Structure 1
Amino acid sequence: MNRFRFRIRFEDRVGMVRDVAEVVSGHGANILSLEVKPGEMHIQVDQVSPTVLENMLKRVQTIANVLEVTPVEWLPHELAQQRLRAILDTVEEGILVVDARGTVSLCNRKAAEILGLGHSLIGNSLKHLGFPREILTSLGVGRLSQQEILLSTPYGRLRCLVKSQPLVDEEGKPAGAMITFEKMSQVRRLVQSLTQPVMITFEEIIYASQKMAEVVALAKTVAKSDSTILIRGESGTGKELFARAIHMASPRRDNPFVVVNCAAIPDTLLESELFGYANGTFTGALKGGRQGLFEFAHQGTIFLDEIAEIPPYVQAKLLRVLQEGCVRRLGEMLENKVDVRVIAATNRNLEEMVAEGSFREDLFYRLNVIPLYLPPLRERKEDIPALAWHFIQKFNQRLGKNVRSLSEAALRRLYDYDWPGNVRELENVIERAMNLAQGERIEPENIILPEKNLASKSPSGLKRAMEEIERQAVIEALNQGGSVRKAAKILGVSHTTIINKMRRYRISGKTSGQWK
């Protein structure tokens, strides 16, 4: 014997519900649910035999003004609940509906999945589920905007982005709240899908030389692993290009690729940018704190360009990430596990920096697991025709031109130049030539290159003399002031300028021994 549901359609009159209820109860049936609206009634009964049920329905049919008695599969409120459940379960955020005390009365599939508790979420309190105090105190008070929180789940600690919308009763009094939340990893994927720049593959790297063929083959091989890669090469050789191609050839291709130019971020901000910070860590910090770029790159790749420029105290924290896969936000005691592949790049001689003490030896070895060296363009000039033609096609589209070739004399000018700026400089020269070209061919007069003395890598005697004067001025100011900040004040420049000059001229405490 199962529960039975039926619908009664009738001409509305006083006493209709009473008459129906008398018939049902007279047949010994227990009414479990009753829903009434003008001209229609739905009833759910329990514990009757098929014979009793048949007799009861026939008797209901004979009640005055009853038009139709029809079995139904669901009551209206059950259908509404099923539709609501179907809608909630399609949402990719966790949803909890709680009462004014913070007890869960409704949850969707995603909430149970994130918290790892299944349908046992119903009846649990937010406090028991690990939600922080500010979520509890916000119930019925007002809307809580997006806030990052740390939850403890059966899978371990989990960072989530949470929002809260208060619910009120018919009298406008607080009745609880609807809380939505999602994993920060999911938020990162969404942001990455919306903001990710165009990625490239190895097939899009232009080359014709054997040297580059060997580099590309090695990069394709190591892309499949998770080992740290250190890309070395002069400025303009395409280090970021290779980093992007490695990411796209790796199992992490569908996850974030995060680029950090370590030289472009001030030292005072670099640590918080990389590792994040907790709520209230410093004046102006975002409420609830902020994740760092390592956390944002979770399960993806982070590309640390100009790695030689990071200060010593950040080097120590980076070493911790590489060794243990752990990140600690500024102002927090807890460490967060991150799964990030690191690709670093530099055009500086890290071995010399290690010898001088300006770069940690242990960090260098952690970064240099797989070294990848990109040769300068002057060592692979057979790549110039292929690269030049690639740039011609690119700028034809951008500039609305129809250049089809380079004259032999123009190509000879490209061959005869040493390219201190490498591929980036070649691209600029071709763009300039495309703007000057009058017909379908680039002529030698369209190729404008610096004078050879300007293209030389060695500074002139005057330039060397000026650099030595500047270097001595910085050393004297450091000796006189006894600290970097006081030296900056003496010279009338910023603290960052002094630090940059020290790096450029390789000035360390060993240079004078009189300052820290």
Structure 2
Amino acid sequence: MKKFRYRIRFKDRVGMVRDISEIVAQGGANIVSLEVKRGEIYLQVEPLPEEKLSYIINRISLIPDVYEVTPVEWMPHELAEQQLRTVINSVQEGILSVSKKLIINTCNARAMQILGISHPPIGKTLYEVIKLPDEVLELIRSGKPLEQKEVSISSSRGSIRVMVNSKPIFDDKGEIAGAVLTIMKMSEIRRLAHSLTRPVMVTFDDIIHRSRKIKDLIELAKTVAKGDSTILLRGESGTGKELFARAIHMESPRREYPFVVVNCAAIPDTLLESELFGYADGTFTGARRGGRPGLFEFAHKGTIFLDEIAEIPPHIQAKLLRVLQEGSVRRLGEMEEIRVDVRIIAATNRPLEEMVSRGDFRADLFYRLNVIPIYLPPLREHKEDIPVLVDYFIKKFNQKFNKSVQGISPEALELILNYPWPGNIRELENVMERAMNLCKDHIIKVKDIIINSPPFLLSPSEKYLHLKEMVEETEKEALLRALSQGGSARKAAKILGVSHTTVIKKMKKYGITLE
């Protein structure tokens, strides 16, 4: 036996509901549900033996003006409830509805998952299931809306941070009848924000090269990308450290999660700590209401790239060390620690070993960062990559400037190959962009190659000085300026920050006299 549901279609008239109800009662059955619409009635009766049910249905079909009685799978209200349940269970937010007394009457599957419970908490009070701050509960009781309130709640999995929204429910008289709450994990919000704003990421296929040296480096980076160990990228400015960091992230299992770039030298010391670790509500003047998560929280399950790591001050070095050791961060102004699952890739062009010996960089932090060191060589050490880089930049700037430059002359390429490129690939890109702007033909020529690095240029023949000669030219020019400004060797020594004897020796070396 089971519950039976029928749709009864009829010519609309007064008394039809009464006639149907009388027949069901005479048959000794109870009506479970009855829904009346114009021209049709949906009837659900209690479980009955088949003979008894058939008798009742046959009698109903003989009622005057009834022309169809058919079984249905769902009553209209059941179907609506099922559809609503499917909708609320399909959304990414946890949904809870509560009465005026904060009794839970709806809880979707996502809310149960976030709270770490296996059964719907229907009938329980809200504060039994989710421990919200008192001010939040008061807003819900008073019928005031709550928007995007970040709170820390306790669950079976420990403390988690969620974003809570609440909308009041009013009855027909306009009085408060309850509220609907939505909750969403902050980690999911950050992931959603990342998916909407993530830049185009690069892979190892995007690293232009021909040399064996860079090829071996890429193979090494691909291998270490599979793990979670901290990576320290070393190399001069402009060698492509951020490019490698992005490619490592895209090669790793974390590729679907955020890649967060932090230039430690570009953020003032006073702001760097709050940027990295976040802050609580009211921590300092000008702080955003409700507080703010730090970049480590935003990078949860992803990768954080700490560029120019050598520039961070000592007190932040200590907090960074704790993140590496404990895997947790603490916002400024809060006592609670927040667990973060983040892979760290750091980069620097500074000699960290020397900084450690001078006491400018913590030795324990250096060893934590230097788990997998990768050295990116300067461009002068893999000049065989210059021709393919030049071709790449020509294609790139053709598209950017809507030009049709076909290549570079042998003389211009020779000029580029002979230059030491102290600014590495970044400097080469700048020189090629300048050349593409100046090029009036379809071939880049020597006259289009302008490298603004005096005194590197020796003569209009486009030959360059050796490093020793560059240093001497710079030193001589500085000495002449100081003597001109000071008027004496002693004053020039003070301007240059060297001894009087050193200035005299340099004047003799370069044949400079005060006259």
TM-score by length of 2: 0.87
Report the AA paired with residue 91 of structure 2: V
Gaps of 5+ in 1: 473-516
Offset of residue 66 of structure 1: 3.0
What do the CA deviations read for 1:29-77 (whole angstroms, capped 9, x no partner)?
Answer: 1111122233322221113211111111122223344333222211110
Assess, with a 3 A threshold, how the Cα gap between structure 1 residues 451 and 244 changes in structure 2: closer, same or farther: closer
CA distance in 2, matches of 1:58, 1:450: 100
* Aligned partner of 1:291 among 293, 304, 307: 293
Structure 2 residue 315 is the aligned partner of structure 1 residue 325? no
Report the AA paired with residue 22 of structure 1: E
Structure 2 residue 83 is the aligned partner of structure 1 residue 92? no
* Aligned partner of 1:303 among 302, 305, 318: 305
Counterpart secondary structure, 1:157: strand
Offset of residue 217 of structure 1: 2.1
Assess, with a 3 A threshold, how the Cα gap between structure 1 residues 421 and 63 changes in structure 2: closer, same or farther: same
Is the Cα contact below 8 Å between 2:275 and 2:295 reproduced in 1?
yes
Assess, with a 3 A threshold, how the Cα gap between structure 1 residues 460 and 137 changes in structure 2: closer, same or farther: farther
Correspondence for 2:76: 76
Report the AA paired with residue 364 of structure 1: F
Offset of residue 188 of structure 1: 1.5
Offset of residue 199 of structure 1: 1.0
Q: How does 1:18-57 map to 2 (within 5 A)?
A: 18-57=18-57
Structure 2 residue 55 is the aligned partner of structure 1 residue 66? no
Correspondence for 2:502: none
CA distance in 1, matches of 2:69, 2:287: 66
Q: How does 1:456-475 map to 2 (within 5 A)?
A: 458=471, 460=475
Gaps of 5+ in 2: 458-466, 483-491, 498-515
Correspondence for 1:208: 210
**Bigger Cα displacement from structure 2, 165-174 vs 313-322:** 165-174
CA distance in 2, matches of 1:369, 1:468: 45
What do the CA deviations read for 1:147-175 (whole angstroms, capped 9, x no partner)?
Answer: 21222222222221221111111111111
What do the CA deviations read for 1:197-254 (whole angstroms, capped 9, x no partner)?
Answer: 1111112111222322232222122111111011111111111001001111111111
Correspondence for 2:252: 250
**Bigger Cα displacement from structure 2, 170-179 vs 390-399:** 170-179
Counterpart secondary structure, 1:433: helix
Is the Cα contact below 8 Å between 1:300 and 1:341 reproduced in 2?
yes
Number of aligned residue pairs: give it.
Answer: 472
Q: How does 1:400-415 map to 2 (within 5 A)?
A: 400-415=402-417
CA distance in 2, matches of 1:343, 1:109: 37
Assess, with a 3 A threshold, how the Cα gap between structure 1 residues 463 and 125 changes in structure 2: closer, same or farther: farther
Q: How does 1:70-149 map to 2 (within 5 A)?
A: 70-132=70-132, 133-139=134-140, 141-149=143-151
Correspondence for 2:5: 5
Superposed structure 1 runs of 4+ greater than 6 Å apart:
464-472
Q: How does 1:116-265 map to 2 (within 5 A)?
A: 116-132=116-132, 133-139=134-140, 141-265=143-267
Offset of residue 451 of structure 1: 4.3
Report the AA paired with residue 255 of structure 1: Y
What's the Cα RMSD here? 2.2
CA distance in 1, matches of 2:325, 2:146: 38
Is the Cα contact below 8 Å between 2:104 and 2:124 reproduced in 1?
yes
Counterpart secondary structure, 2:129: coil
What do the CA deviations read for 1:78-129 (whole angstroms, capped 9, x no partner)?
Answer: 0111111122222121111211122221122222222222342222322112
**Bigger Cα displacement from structure 2, 197-206 vs 240-249:** 197-206
CA distance in 2, matches of 1:15, 1:322: 78
Is the Cα contact below 8 Å between 1:28 and 1:48 reproduced in 2?
no
CA distance in 2, matches of 1:378, 1:391: 18
CA distance in 2, matches of 1:471, 1:444: 37
Is the Cα contact below 8 Å between 1:4 and 1:44 reproduced in 2?
yes
* Aligned partner of 1:440 among 423, 442, 456: 442
Assess, with a 3 A threshold, how the Cα gap between structure 1 residues 469 and 293 changes in structure 2: closer, same or farther: farther
Report the AA paired with residue 112 of structure 2: A
CA distance in 2, matches of 1:44, 1:134: 46
Correspondence for 2:339: 337
Bigger radius of gyration: 2
Report the AA paired with residue 156 of structure 2: P
Report the AA paired with residue 43 of structure 2: I
Counterpart secondary structure, 1:102: coil
Offset of residue 142 of structure 1: 2.4
Offset of residue 401 of structure 1: 1.3
Offset of residue 463 of structure 1: 5.4
CA distance in 1, matches of 2:191, 2:476: 53
CA distance in 2, matches of 1:208, 1:103: 68
CA distance in 2, matches of 1:331, 1:164: 26
**Bigger Cα displacement from structure 2, 108-117 vs 78-87:** 108-117
Report the AA paired with residue 161 of structure 1: M
Offset of residue 469 of structure 1: 6.7
Correspondence for 1:507: none
Assess, with a 3 A threshold, how the Cα gap between structure 1 residues 121 and 251 changes in structure 2: closer, same or farther: same
CA distance in 2, matches of 1:58, 1:451: 102
**Bigger Cα displacement from structure 2, 398-407 vs 54-63:** 54-63
Is the Cα contact below 8 Å between 1:166 and 1:177 reproduced in 2?
yes
Counterpart secondary structure, 1:68: strand
Correspondence for 1:360: 362
Report the AA paired with residue 428 of structure 1: N
CA distance in 1, matches of 2:67, 2:212: 90
CA distance in 2, matches of 1:324, 1:469: 50
Report the AA paired with residue 386 of structure 2: I
CA distance in 2, matches of 1:471, 1:338: 49
CA distance in 2, matches of 1:14, 1:470: 110
Instruction: Using the aligned pairs only, state the percent identity.
Output: 58
CA distance in 2, matches of 1:216, 1:96: 50
